Structures are given as C-alpha cells and as structure tokens.
C-alpha cells in the first residue's frame, strides 16, 4: 500500500477525491513528506461523520469530509480539496483570514455562534449562518501549522426562527385593531421589521364600488412612486388579462404571481439591507369568503440572498394569510360596530315609534272601553248572556291593550329623560300588601298558594306610588305566568338603609345563560314554559328602569326547575326615616283600579275563563254529539279568550277539541286523530311551527291539514308557514266568515285526499294481488290491443317484459286453428253476456306450443256510464291438472285390470282347493292326521279368500267407486250373532259375550255387516289381554243401530288414533302377530260404515280399555249406496 492510500484511506467520496490530488504540485508536497501531525488531523477528518475541515500550512491548504461537502455548494466543490483557503473563500476571507493569522501567532482558538457569512457557493451571494469552532493544530516543532474546524450550518434554524417571530408578531399586533386601515398599517409595520425576508411590501385593498385596488400601506418603498401607485384598475372579469405592475396576472386569475424582473431598465430596485437590492417580487391575492374578488393583494419583494424554495414560499403564504386574517377581523369589528350602532338607532326609532303609536292608541281605546264598561253596567238595558260574554271578552282584551300602551309610553318617557319619580313618604308595607292581595283569587283559582309577608316598616319610605305599583304588579304577574305548581311568596323587609322587596316563586326557573339578559328590553327567554307565550318582553325591563329611577336596582336568582327570586332594593331616605310614620306618611294608597284590573284580566286570560268549554282530556273520549258533525277540529292557542271565541264560532258546525299549547295538541292527536288542526304560532311548551314539524314527521299525522294563526303579517311569514307544510296561514285579526270558509275548504280537501289515499291503498293491494297471483291476469283495450299481463302470465306464455306485451293483439294469444272459434263464438258471447269462461288453449310465444287453460274472459265497463272500456282475463294453466287426470285414468285402468286378475285368476284355484278339501273330508277312510291337515288346508284357503276379498274392497274404494252394498230387510241382532259364531270357531278357547237390546229390524248388507263384526271382534281377540272376555253389544238408538266391541288390554297410543282407520295401518302390540294381518280390517270397517251412511269411532284408555262403536242407519240415506 502506498503512502497516499495509507494516509488518505476511507473518507467516502471526499477521500477518493483527495487520493486523486497530485500533492507534489501543492505547497504541502508529496504525501510521504507530510508530518505525522498532518497525517493524524487528516485521518480524523476523513473518519468522522460530523462536518470537519483542516487548513494546513501558510497557504491554508484545505481538507474536508463528506459531511462538510454541502457547505461548499455547487461551485466550490471539488476544486476546494487541496486548494488554498483564500482562493476558495475570497468573499469571506476578510472575516476568516485575520482570525487564522492571529491563531497561528497566539495559538488561541475561535468559537462563533450563528455567524452570518455571505457565501457565493451556488451562483449568487447567499445569506448563510454557521456555528463553528476553529482550533490550532501544532506540528512536531510545537508551532501552529494548521487550523482544525468543526462547524455546523444553522441557516435553516436562524431564518426559520426569524420568520416565525415575524408571523407571531403579525398575529399579536393586528388581532385587536379596530379598523381596517389600522390593521393594514400595523401589518406593514411588522413586515417592515423583517427586511432580510421582505425587502419591500405593498398592500392593496379592493374597492368593489369603483372596481379598483387602493394602496393601503407600504414598507421599503414610498407611496406614490413608480413602483407603488396609489390606485390600480382591476379587470372586469376573470377572462380579462392584466400584466401591469404591480399586480400582474394575479389581478385577473386570482392566483399567486411571480415577478422575476422588476420594472425599469436595470430590473432591480435598491431596497433592503443588501447592496445589490432586489430584483423579483411575489403577488398574492388575499381571499375573501363569499366573494369572487379578493379582499386585496400583498406584493412582497424577494431577497436576492435567499433561494426561493418551498420554505420561502411557505413563509410568504403564511404572511399573506396573517394579513388576510388581520383585515377580516378588523372588518368584522367594523361590521359589529356598525351593526351595534344601527341596532341602537333602531332601538331608539322603535321606542319613538311605539311612543307615537301608543299616544294614538289611547284615544280610540278610551272610546272603546268607556262604552263597553257602560254596557256591562247598564241596569236599564242589560245584555243577554251571549252578548254579555262577548262584551266581557272585548273589555278584558281592551284592558290588556291599554296596559301594553301605558308600558310603552313609560319607556318612551324614560328614553327621552322625561319620566321622573314623584317620591312621597308612603306606607310601603300596606301598599305592597294591597297590591299582592289583589292577585289572591286569581292565584288560588289556578291551584297555587300566595304568601304575603309585609309587616309594618319602622318608617315611611319615599317612593312614587304609581311606579311602585308597576314594580310589584309586574313581578307578581311574571311569577304567576311561569309557576304551574307550588306558590308565590311576596315579602318586604327593612335592611339597614334599604328596603328590600322579594318575590319568590316555585316556577320553571331561568336558564343560567339567560339571566344576564333577563332585564333587557324586548328580550324573551327562548323555550320558557309559561302559561302563555304572549308578552312583549318589557315588563321586567320596566321594573329595572323604575327601580333605578328610585335610586335602587333589581336582581334575579334562579335555578331551572326550582323557581326564581326577584329582589328589588330601594334606599330609605334619611329625612323620612327621622320622622314618625304617622306624621310623614301618606295613607296606604288604594291600588289604581285600572292598573290592577289590567294585570288581573291578563293573568285570568292565562287560565280558563268562566264559561269556557273544557278541553278534551287526553285519555277521554268526546261526548257523543246529537247533531251532524262536519268534522273533528283541534284548536290550539295559549290565549283562553281566543280558545273560547274560536270554539263559539266552530262548535255549531264541527266537533271542536281545545288545547292550550303544542304538547297538549300532540297528546290529543295521539288519543284521537282530528280531521283538521288549527294552531296559533306563538305558544309555550311547543309553538305552532314545532307542532307542525312534529305532525309532519309522524307517518300517522303527516296528511292531517294544519291552519296556522299568527299576528305576524306579511308575505314572508305566510311563505314560511306554507314552506313548513301548513295548508293555510291566517293572519290575526281574522273574520269569522274567513275562518269558517278556510275550515270548510280544508276539511273538504282533506276528505278528498283521504278518499284518494284510500283508493291508492286499495289499488296497491290489487296490484300486489295481481303481481303475486300464479294465474295469468291480463288487460286489453277495446280494440283488442294488449295493455298488461302480470309476471305469472308472461312466464306462462313466454313473453319477455311489458314492452313485448304491449306489442301484441288478442288473436296473437291463440293458436291459428283456434282463432275462428274465438272470433265467431267467444267474442260475440262476450259482447252479449259480458263474460265467457271454460277450458281453452293459449299459445306460448316462445315455443308455439299450446297451453291448456281454464279461460275466464270478461268485459271491463265504466261504472258510471256503462261504456265498454276494455277486456280482461284471468286464466289458470291446467297443464298439470290434465297430466294428473291422465295419470289417474291410467291408474284406474291398471287397477281395474288388477281386480279382474285377482277376481278370476286367484279365486278360481282357491275355490278348487276348497272343493277338493271338503270332498276329502267326506271320506270315511281318512285318518286323524290327514283329517287335521285337510282342516288346516280349508282354514288357510278361507283366510286367503278373505284377504283377497279385503284387497278387492280396498282397491275398489280407492278407485273412487266405493264399496257396493246390497241392502235387504234383516235382523241386525241375528246377523251379528251368526257372524260371532264364525269367529268363535276360529277362537274356540276365548270367551265372547253378546248383549242385544231393542228392535233390530232394518235394511243392511248382511255380508258387509258380517265383515264389520268379524274384523272388530277378531281385532279385539288378537290385541286384548290373553284370556280376557270380549264384550259385544247391539242396541237401537233412534233411527240407528249401534254395534259396540269392547276389550281390555293395552290402550291404543294417542298418536295412532288419528291414522287408525287408514289402509295398511297395523298395531304395534306384538310384532310376532304382524304377519297375521295386513292392516286392512279397520279401513274396511270404516268404508262399510260410510257406505251405509254411518260412521265408526274408537275410545281407548288404560282404565276403561278399548271400545269401537259403529252407528248404522236403519234405512239407506238419500244418495248412499256406496262410499266414495
């Protein structure tokens, strides 16, 4: 290995490049001559992953590793390897050289942190920052021979921190600016403090009215200069091009635009901290939500010493966003301020308007209330009951309107500063007691308690009695309105130098978020569950204003669901306190009648007035009406007078149910569906719009028509109600004729819609039946063109879809040879009689094959005119039925042949066997053994004969011909006895007891009767207890003779009873006996009984044993000669 490879080994790419340098041509000479100190230093550099650098000798010849390489950029590497440092770094040698020379002389190390060094390493002078440590390296003589540098570039951290500080300062400084101009000015101030990143900036705001951009601020440039024009025209649309400084294409495209060369001959402008100035700029639109045009444009100069990379672009984007946010926030504050000023002006205008209108109202109100009161109190011409109630309603609501007018007048005086408290020493406790006690009857009638605790005060208090009345009455009225159970407590106390009035209720309470605004004018708590939704929202506001006029105030405390406490504090005047009560106070003032009456009348209107029809209970049914009812109408309104008035209008023609709010109306709907709902819009618990929404969401009530009543007039209110699903919107006040017309019209329309929906449901059911039917159902026009065939019919005839059906004609559905019969026979019969049915053939369109059907063909006629409107068919495919009938015929033919074979071919040899065996028994020379064997032959042949007979009977019965019976006059008892004797021969060891009663004469088939007796008795002997007696009885029972066979033994299992009389059914008692029976006996018994018009039954249990009972009529019933 050579010296070069040994000394300069490793080091990656830089190590390889160092090994290629001709060191003999450098001031350091050949590698073999290098001192050990240099070799060691270079080895450390090449072996490290940290940026390291060595400059050696008087010329500072350079060595560095791969980690250091990026510091040299594109232009200095790899030439810097082995090159003198002053040659490589001329632009910063004035910063490095003096320090290194000093280090060579003194041996003192150098450390710097985040030093800015302008390097020309990528084709331009670049703003770079470094943290480094330069240490001396001594050679073998002890002198400083070189510089060892460990360094790190911190450009990214320094520039990033600087930019982040700028953005943070921009957000903090502009967040609270009151105006747009102030926000723009502050934003430019912050940008001006960052010239290293933004050498200059221009901020333009768009003026939509003039279509121009106005300069709102600059940094680095002077407003009005060639590069900073004051105003700029904007293109009319996005398609119009614009390329003039400073906005360029950004004005028309709304996208960021880059000026790579500034206007002017040199293309640069001398701004910013660097001598070369800047030559490029970035234009960014400032977006505005909901507008096509941006809010403005931010033009920022670009530093020539920073590369326009992603980080630089990202900083500029965030800068523009910060400016956009500052402008948006400032404009929002300006808008809020303008809105607040407008609201204040509107509030003043509203108060002035109400004041003027209220003054105008008082004159007609006086002329209304005066004559009404005279009429109510006229003893000479008293009103009738109905007119009296009407006038009382007018009087109550007139007083309510007067109360509202007076309150509005009070506010107008307060606003104008014309309302003053005329304070006089007053016995406040007595006055308050009188006011509160006036509410007692109203409160107690509502099921609440009223506790008035106002003991005498030690001194009179200076107040304006009329204004104090309004304070007390408003608070008690408010408590009553929102209290549904519990009670109200009114207390008055002397506390220090103050008088404290408390009104406490156990009502619904006030949500915490509503408390701060509870005394604001016209403010109403949303969703409050009061006795009525009515109210102007000014009662509590008036209380606060009046309390403050007296130098006091009012506070509210509340817990939702528990109640509220309103506390009024008034100062007790020192002068009045010093004097005795009896000398200084006015007498306890009687509350003004009109004022108290107005409050009481309004409070009474929140509950049911006298004579009010009771509202239908949710779980009750309406009383049956004796008159014809035009429909069931539900009316919901929180005003009791309005409920009474509408009830009086509608109750003569309709059944009317009343509800005080939307929730009660919903409960009524669930209990019994109304035909029409009329609802006020403004109600507690659930308003009219909420009720309408709930009705429309419920499938059961979605079709119920709803008429909304509201005091809100105007097209917008009507459109809003109709859009939410109301069928009509009626504005108060309305006439009785208009309401009646709307109700009748909506009920008629609802009835028509209901009938239409019913017809639609019936039609849907019919469609479902047609589509699910397995029969062909088709409809054609009067011209014979097919209109519809259901899916089953399409499958039957090989049609593919409705289009294929509609392209066919009536005759297409029949075979060619059948069409003349259809034309000449079926269609004339159809026109004459309206229908034709019978078996016929249709054609399969896919295969052309005939499809046998039972064809039902009929005309469709208009029910009203009788006119023919089409033809229809319901046809059933009977292919399968024909197949089954053919198979049945073949089966019957086969079984008939089998009967013939059995009757002839089996019986003949058996008869021959029996004749031969009987003849053999007649011989005298036959031995005992032969005689016994011959008897067995005869017994077996007879058993085979009976089996053949049973099989023939079964076959004939199953063929449908039934068992033939040949009746003749006979004695039932005698026939039974003879049959038993034959059985007894086969079972000589068993005892059979016969009991016979009554007349046994009648008409039966004696042979068949013998079959019944033998089968039942043999069955009893075979399956009964061994040795047990079998009991047989015959008796008359009216027109029937009854045969009973009873035996004891194991009962028949219950699960076998339903199938006991089926063919081939055998008992399970003893498998060894099964070979002796084929299971036909009981089947034949049942068939014989039916052939005689009778029946057979069985009863079986462990305790009673088993009894078969056969009922046979004495005479043959009509049409009974066989069993089918």
pLDDT, one tens digit per residue, over 101-124 is 999 999 999 999 999 999 999 999
Q: What is the share, in percent, of the chain residues with pLDDT greater than 90?
A: 44
Output the pLDDT for position 1004: 93
Residues 306 and 447 in one domain: no
Residues 222 and 321 in one domain: yes
CATH number at residue 1097: 3.30.565.10
If pLDDT is split at 50, 70 and 90, which confidence band does 955 have?
low
Residues 98 and 218 in one domain: no
Q: Report if residue 412 sits inside a domain.
A: no
Q: Are strands 144-153 and 52-56 parallel, antiparallel or unpaired?
A: antiparallel
Q: Report if residue 167 sits inside a domain.
A: no
Q: Are strands 728-731 and 706-710 parallel, antiparallel or unpaired?
A: parallel
Residues 225 and 336 in one domain: yes
- Provide mean pLDDT across the span 527-551: 77
Output the pLDDT for position 615: 38
Q: Is the pLDDT of residue 534 over 70?
A: no
Q: What is the 8-class DSSP label of residue 84?
A: B
Residues 779 and 760 in one domain: no
Output the pLDDT for position 362: 63
Spatial CB neighbours of 94, under 8 Å, sequence gap ≥ 6: none
pLDDT tens digits along 750-781:
888 888 888 888 888 888 888 888 899 999 99
- Provide mean pLDDT across the span 539-561: 89
Planar angle of CA 740, 746, 749, nearest 5 degrees: 140
Buried b (16+ CB within 10 A) or exposed e, 218-246: bbbbeeeeebbbeebebbeeeeeebeebb
pLDDT tens digits along 904-932:
566 677 777 878 877 877 777 777 788 87
Output the pLDDT for position 242: 55
Question: Where is average pLDDT lowest: 99-113, 704-718, 1103-1117?
Answer: 704-718
Among the listed residues 92, 129, 159, 202, the one whose alpha carbon sits nearest the alpha carbon of residue 308: 159
User: How many Cβ atoms from other residues are within 10 Å of residue 793's Cβ?
Assistant: 24
Q: Report if residue 14 sits inside a domain.
A: yes
pLDDT tens digits along 596-615:
766 777 776 666 544 444 33
Asked if residues 325 and 183 have their Cβ atoms less than 8 Å apart, the reply is: no
Output the pLDDT for position 119: 95
| Element holding 1034 (H helix, E strand) | strand 1030-1037
Output the pLDDT for position 809: 92
Output the pLDDT for position 198: 96
Output the pLDDT for position 238: 55
Q: Report if residue 924 sits inside a domain.
A: no
Q: Report if residue 1052 sits inside a domain.
A: yes
Higher pLDDT, 913 or 1114: 1114
| pTM of full prediction above 0.75 | no
Q: Is the pLDDT of residue 727 over 60?
A: yes
Residues 207 and 148 in one domain: no
The pair of structure tokens assigned to 188 is 């430019």
The mean pLDDT value of the chain amounts to: 84
Residues 183 and 78 in one domain: no
Residues 973 and 1106 in one domain: yes
Q: Report if residue 648 sits inside a domain.
A: yes
What contacts 24+ positions apart, CB below 8 Å, involve 848-856? Answer: 850/815, 851/796, 851/797, 851/877, 851/879, 852/877, 852/878, 852/879, 852/882, 853/776, 853/877, 853/878, 854/878
Whole domain around residue 40: which residue ranges?
A: 3-153
Q: How far apart are CA 490 and CA 425, in angstroms?
A: 21
Asked if residues 53 and 68 have their Cβ atoms less than 8 Å apart, the reply is: yes
Q: Report if residue 457 sits inside a domain.
A: yes
Q: How far apart are CA 809 and CA 871, in angstroms?
A: 12
Q: What is the 8-class DSSP label of residue 637?
A: -
Q: Is the pLDDT of residue 1073 over 60?
A: no
If pLDDT is split at 50, 70 and 90, which confidence band does 947 have?
low
- Provide mean pLDDT across the span 986-997: 88
Higher pLDDT, 276 or 949: 276
Our measurement of the distance from residue 807's CA atom to the centroid of its chain's CA atoms, rounded to an integer in Å, reads: 45
pLDDT tens digits along 87-102:
999 999 999 999 999 9
Among the candidates 848, 877, 906, a domain finishes at: 877
φ, ψ at 874 (rounded to 5°): -125, 110
Q: Is the pLDDT of residue 619 over 60?
A: no
Q: How far apart are CA 1113 and CA 1036, in angstroms?
A: 10
Residues 472 and 493 in one domain: yes
Output the pLDDT for position 1075: 41
End-to-end CA, the chain: 124
Output the pLDDT for position 37: 95
If pLDDT is split at 50, 70 and 90, which confidence band does 538 have?
confident
Find the DSSP H helices in 651-790: 662-671, 688-697, 715-723, 736-772
pLDDT tens digits along 264-284:
888 899 999 999 999 999 999
Q: Is the pLDDT of residue 401 over 90?
A: no
Q: Is the pLDDT of residue 574 over 50?
A: no
Q: How far apart are CA 83 and CA 436, in angstroms?
A: 107
Q: Report if residue 141 sits inside a domain.
A: yes
**SS3 state of residue 222:** coil
Question: Where is average pLDDT lowest: 69-78, 191-200, 526-535, 1100-1109?
Answer: 526-535
Q: Are strands 706-710 and 676-680 parallel, antiparallel or unpaired?
A: parallel
Q: Is the pLDDT of residue 327 over 90?
A: yes
CATH number at residue 268: 3.30.450.40
CATH number at residue 106: 3.30.450.20
Spatial CB neighbours of 306, under 8 Å, sequence gap ≥ 6: 126, 127, 159, 196, 197, 312
If pLDDT is split at 50, 70 and 90, which confidence band does 959 have?
low
Higher pLDDT, 860 or 161: 161
The pair of structure tokens assigned to 113 is 């942190």
Q: How far apart are CA 1064 and CA 1081, in angstroms?
A: 9
Residues 225 and 177 in one domain: yes
φ, ψ at 72 (rounded to 5°): -80, -10
Buried b (16+ CB within 10 A) or exposed e, 267-290: eebebbebeebbbbbbbbbbebee
**SS3 state of residue 274:** coil
Residues 176 and 228 in one domain: yes
Q: Is the pLDDT of residue 575 over 50?
A: no
Among the candidates 97, 120, 153, a domain finishes at: 153
pLDDT tens digits along 56-96:
999 999 999 999 999 999 999 999 999 999 999 999 999 99
Tell me if the bond preceding 189 is cis, omega within 30° of 0.
Answer: no
Output the pLDDT for position 1094: 92
Among the candidates 604, 622, 655, a domain finishes at: 604
Q: Are strands 786-789 and 563-571 parallel, antiparallel or unpaired?
A: unpaired
Residues 795 and 872 in one domain: yes
Q: Is the pLDDT of residue 622 over 80?
A: no
Spatial CB neighbours of 156, under 8 Å, sequence gap ≥ 6: 311
If pLDDT is split at 50, 70 and 90, which confidence band does 1060 have?
confident
pLDDT tens digits along 648-664:
889 888 999 999 889 99
Count of structural domains within the chain: 6
**SS3 state of residue 453:** strand
């Amino acid at each position: 290995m050579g010296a070069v490879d040994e000394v300069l080994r490793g080091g990656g790419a830089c190590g390889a490049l160092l090994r290629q340098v001709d060191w003999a041509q450098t001031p350091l000479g050949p590698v073999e001559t290098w001192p050990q100190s240099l070799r060691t230093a270079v080895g450390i550099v090449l072996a490290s992953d940290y940026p390291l650098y060595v400059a050696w000798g008087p010329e500072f010849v350079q060595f560095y590793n791969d980690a250091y390489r990026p510091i040299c950029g594109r232009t200095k590497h790899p030439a810097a390897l082995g090159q003198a440092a002053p040659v490589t770094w001329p632009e910063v040698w004035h910063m490095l050289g003096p320090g290194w020379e000093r280090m060579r002389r003194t041996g003192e190390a150098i450390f710097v942190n985040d030093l800015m060094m302008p390097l020309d390493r990528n084709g331009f002078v670049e703003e770079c920052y470094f943290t480094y440590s330069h240490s001396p390296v001594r050679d073998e003589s002890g002198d400083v021979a070189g510089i060892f540098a460990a360094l790190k570039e911190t450009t990214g951290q320094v520039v990033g921190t600087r930019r982040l500080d700028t953005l943070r300062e921009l957000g903090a400084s502009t967040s609270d600016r009151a105006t747009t101009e102030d926000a723009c000015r502050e934003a430019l101030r912050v940008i001006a403090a960052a010239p290293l990143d933004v050498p200059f900036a221009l901020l333009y705001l768009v003026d939509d009215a003039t279509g121009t951009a106005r300069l709102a601020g600059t940094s680095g440039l002077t407003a009005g200069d060639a590069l900073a024009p004051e105003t700029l025209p904007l293109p009319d649309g996005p398609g119009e091009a614009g390329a003039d400084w400073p906005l360029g294409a950004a004005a028309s495209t709304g996208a960021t635009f880059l000026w790579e060369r500034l206007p002017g001959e040199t293309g640069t402008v001398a701004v910013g901290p660097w001598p070369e100035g800047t030559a490029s700029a970035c234009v960014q639109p400032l977006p505005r939500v909901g507008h096509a045009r941006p809010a403005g444009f931010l033009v920022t100069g670009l530093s020539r010493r920073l590369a326009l990379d992603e980080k630089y672009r990202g900083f500029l984007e965030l800068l523009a966003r910060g400016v956009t946010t500052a402008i948006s926030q400032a404009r929002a504050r300006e808008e809020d301020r303008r809105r607040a000023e407008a609201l204040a002006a509107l509030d003043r205008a509203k108060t002035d308007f109400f004041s003027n209108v209220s003054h105008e109202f008082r004159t007609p109100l006086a002329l209304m209330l005066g004559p009404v009161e005279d009429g109510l109190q006229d003893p000479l011409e008293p009103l009738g009951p109905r007119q009296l109630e009407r006038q009382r309603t007018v009087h109550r609501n007139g007083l309510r309107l007067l109360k509202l007018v007076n309150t509005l007048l009070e506010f107008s005086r307060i606003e104008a500063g014309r309302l003053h408290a005329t304070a006089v020493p007053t016995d406040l406790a007595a006055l308050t007691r009188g006011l509160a006690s006036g509410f007692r009857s109203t409160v107690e009638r509502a099921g609440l308690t009223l506790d008035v605790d106002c003991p005498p005060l030690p001194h009179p208090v200076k107040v304006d009695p009329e204004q104090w009345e309004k304070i007390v009455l408003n608070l008690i009225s408010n408590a009553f309105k929102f209290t549904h159970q519990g009670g109200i407590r009114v207390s008055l106390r002397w506390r220090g130098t103050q008088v404290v009035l408390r009104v406490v209720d156990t009502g619904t309470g006030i949500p915490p978020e509503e408390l701060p605004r509870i005394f604001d004018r016209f403010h109403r708590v949303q969703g409050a569950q009061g006795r009525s939704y009515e109210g102007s929202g000014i009662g509590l506001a008036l209380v606060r204003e009046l309390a403050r006029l007296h130098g006091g105030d009012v506070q509210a405390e509340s817990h939702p669901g528990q109640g509220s406490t309103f506390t009024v504090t008034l100062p007790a005047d020192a002068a009045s306190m010093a004097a005795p009560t009896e000398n200084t106070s006015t007498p306890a003032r009687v509350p003004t009648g009109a004022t108290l009456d107005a409050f009481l009348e309004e409070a009474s209107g929140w509950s049911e007035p006298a004579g009010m029809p009771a509202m239908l209970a949710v779980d009750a049914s309406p009383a049956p009406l004796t008159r014809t009812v035009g429909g069931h109408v539900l009316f919901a309104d929180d005003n009791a007078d309005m409920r009474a008035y509408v009830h009086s209008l509608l109750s003569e023609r309709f059944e009317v149910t009343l509800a005080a709010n939307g929730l009660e109306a919903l409960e009524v709907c669930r209990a019994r569906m109304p035909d029409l709902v009329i609802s006020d819009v403004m109600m507690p618990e659930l308003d009219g719009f909420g009720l309408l929404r709930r009705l429309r969401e419920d499938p059961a009530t979605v079709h119920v028509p709803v008429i909304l009543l509201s005091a809100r007039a105007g097209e917008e209110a009507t459109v809003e109600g109709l859009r939410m699903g109301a069928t009509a919107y009626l504005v108060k006040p309305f006439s009785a004729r208009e309401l009646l017309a709307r109700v009748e019209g909506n009920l008629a329309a609802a009835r028509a819609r209901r009938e239409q929906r019913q017809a639609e449901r019936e039609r849907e059911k019919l469609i479902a039946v047609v589509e699910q039917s397995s029969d062909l159902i088709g409809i054609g026009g009067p011209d014979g063109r097919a209109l519809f065939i259901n899916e089953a019919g399409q499958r039957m005839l090989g049609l593919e879809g409705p289009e294929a059906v509609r392209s066919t004609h009536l005759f297409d559905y029949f075979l060619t040879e059948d069409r003349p019969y259809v034309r000449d026979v079926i269609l004339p019969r159809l026109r004459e009689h309206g229908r034709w049915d019978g078996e016929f053939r249709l054609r399969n369109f896919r295969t052309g094959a005939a499809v046998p059907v039972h064809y039902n063909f009929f005309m469709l006629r208009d029910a009203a005119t009788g006119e023919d409107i089409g033809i229809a068919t319901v046809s059933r495919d009977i292919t399968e039925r024909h197949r089954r009938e053919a198979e049945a015929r073949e089966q019957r033919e086969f079984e008939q042949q089998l009967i013939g074979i059995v009757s002839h071919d089996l019986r003949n040899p058996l008869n021959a066997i029996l004749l031969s065996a009987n003849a053999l028994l007649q011989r005298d020379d036959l031995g005992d053994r032969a005689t016994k064997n011959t008897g067995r032959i005869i017994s077996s042949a007879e058993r085979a004969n009976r089996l053949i007979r049973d099989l023939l009977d079964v076959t004939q019965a199953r063929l449908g011909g039934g068992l033939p019976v040949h009746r003749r006059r006979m004695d039932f008892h005698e026939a039974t006895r003879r049959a038993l004797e034959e059985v007894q021969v086969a079972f000589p060891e068993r005892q059979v007891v016969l009991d016979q009663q009554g007349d046994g004469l009648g008409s039966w088939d004696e042979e068949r009767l013998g079959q019944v007796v033998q089968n039942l008795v043999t069955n009893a002997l075979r399956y009964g207890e061994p040795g047990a007696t079998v009991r047989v009885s015959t008796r008359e029972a009216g027109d029937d003779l009854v045969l009973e066979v009873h035996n004891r033994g194991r009962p028949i299992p219950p699960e076998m009873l339903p199938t006991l009389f089926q063919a081939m059914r055998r008992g399970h008692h003893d498998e060894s006996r099964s070979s002796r029976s084929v299971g036909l006996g009981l089947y034949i018994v049942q068939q014989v009984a039916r052939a005689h018009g009778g029946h057979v039954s069985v009863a079986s249990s462990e305790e009673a044993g088993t009894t078969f009972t056969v009922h046979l009529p004495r005479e043959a019933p009509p049409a009974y000669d066989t069993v089918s």
